[in-house]
Amino acid sequence: MRSYWIRRAIGAAAVLLLVIAANFFLFRIMPGDVVSSIVDPRFSPEAKERMREVFGLDQPLLRQFVIYVRRMLTFDFGISFLSQRPIWDELRSRVPNTIALLGSALLISSALGTWLGVQAARKRGGITEKVVLISGSISFSFPSFFVQLVLLLFLAYTLPVFPLRGSVSIPVPQGAIDRMLDYIWHLLLPAGSLVLLGFGSWAIYVRNLMVKTLGEDFILLARAKGFSESRVLWNHAFRSALPPILTIFLLALPGIVSGAVITETVFSLHGVGKYLLDSIMGHDYPAAGAAFYILGLLTIISNLAADAAYAIADPRIKVGRRAGM
């Protein structure tokens, strides 16, 4: 058990280091002066000199990198070129929005996809299976932003059921409950579209795994024991298919984070992904780097959470072997 966690932690640290290194070097191989990528060119010479010291730009590259890693780990991202405010102050208000979008979309699509996948595996050739197949091929070939634009066009413009843009109404409604409802109303279409795009592929994976599992001997034996079909299905088949399902979850995670960036852009949500795009468009490099780092961090944390779930779901983890990998 311990060796598993050590390996997972090393893996997470490696990814984190890679993200930070990518940030560090990408913004330094840019054409032009290094300073201009980190320090706003409009700063006064004294301010530039001060920033040079803060970033340790006059020191050797390795030393600079160590300083950079330390600053990333303490969320000290510097000042945004565009807003002239500390970047972390700007990001802090956006992180919860991104987590709400990612979290709700992930939870609902995985729950819905899992349920549909299990049902499709139980009744081969039934309606559920057809739904799963069609929604699966939709999610594999339709670009997310296209589906979202169509939804936006028909459900926010033609039929104004949902808001066209933003995370909250302006002006913000009074009262905690109203504000909450307003927030959910703004989240429904973005998260719902991610669910719509995500549950199909999820359901197909689950179905395939369940079909394989349902053919195993222990399922035959569980049926022979006179258990109810739902006990056989969930307690034996699904429980056994859970570790590989979680593996898929892990593999799908980066793609879902990428999807969130696009979703935030389509719906103009006040999130980290939108901030990343705005910063890149405005050549606000420190802000772009910070947003990228936060997205990487969110992925790594979700990864670790899925690893933890995996360790609970699969007793074989104790011997340090990972099924399905």
Partner 1 sequence: MIKIPRWSFITFFLILVIAVFAPMGLSRSPQETVAKPFAPPAWTGGDAPPPFSAVLSPSQGIVVLDWEWEAPENISIKGELVFEGYSVSKLVWTTPDGRTFTLASFQGSGKWPLDLDGRDITFKTALGIPPLANALPLLFPSRGEHRVSIEGDIPSGGSLNLTLPGGKWGLMGTDQRGRDVLALFIMGIRVSLLVGISATLLASFFGLSIGLTSGYLGGVVDSLVMRTVDVLLSIPVLPILMVIVGIWGKGLWQLVIILGLFSWMGTARTVRSLALSLRESCYVENLRSIGASPWYILYRHLLPEAMPVLLATISLGVPGAILAEAGLSFLGLSDPRVISWGRMLHEAHGFGAFTAGAWWLIIPPGIGISIICLVFLDMGRSIEEMADPRLKGSLRQ
Partner 2 sequence: MIAVRNLSVTYRTAARSVQAVTDVSLDLPKGSITAIVGESGGGKSSLVYGILRLLPPQAKVSGSIIYDGTDILSAKESWLRDFRWKKAALVTQGAMNSLTPVLTVGYQIGEVLRIRLGLSRKEADKRTAELLGMTNLSPEYAKRYPHELSGGQKQRVVIAMAVACSPELLIADEPTSALDVITQAEVAATLLDMVREKGMGLLLVSHDLPLAASLCENLAVMHKGRIVETGPPEKILGSPSHPHTKELLSAFSLIGGPG
Q: How far, CA to CA in Å, does 325 sit from each of 7, 108, 157?
A: 14, 25, 45
102 binds partner 1 (CB under 8 A): no
Residue 218 to residue 237: CA distance in whole angstroms: 9
In the complex, least distance from residue 212 CB atom to partner 2, rounded to whole angstroms: 12
Nearer to partner 1, 109 or 222 (CB): 109
Under the binding rule (CB under 8 A), the answer on residue 265 touching partner 1 is: yes
Shortest distance, position 204 Cβ to partner 1, whole Å: 5
The answer to whether the CB of 87 falls within 8 A of the CB of 287 is yes
Is 292 an interacting residue with respect to partner 1 (CB under 8 A)? yes
Contact with partner 2 (CB under 8 A): which of 1, 3, 316, 320? Answer: 316
Task: Provide the phi-psi class of 78: left if phi over 0, else alpha when psi is between -120 and 50, else beta.
Answer: left
Radius of gyration of the chain (CA): 24
User: Please, what is the minimum distance in Å from the beta carbon of residue 120 to partner 2?
Assistant: 15
The DSSP annotation for 255-322 comes to HHHHHHHHHHHHTT-SSHHHHHHHHHHTT-HHHHHHHHHHHHHHHHHHHHHHHHHHHHH-GGGGGT--
Q: Does 150 bind partner 1 (CB under 8 A)?
A: yes
Residue 209 engages partner 2 in binding (rule: CB under 8 A): no
Does residue 225 touch partner 2 according to CB under 8 A? yes
Site for partner 2 contains 84 (CB under 8 A): no
Q: What is the dihedral of CA 65, 67, 70, 75, to 10 degrees?
A: -100
Interface pick for partner 2 out of 152, 242, 260, 287 (rule CB under 8 A): 242
- Does position 176 interact with partner 2 (CB under 8 A)? The reply is no
Tell me, by CB under 8 A, how many residues bind partner 1.
Answer: 62
Residue 298 identity (one-letter amino acid) = L
**Choice from 97, 144, 240, 247 touching partner 2 (CB under 8 A):** 240
Question: Under the rule (CB under 8 A), what is the footprint of partner 2?
Answer: 216-218, 220-228, 231, 235-236, 239-240, 242-243, 313-316, 319
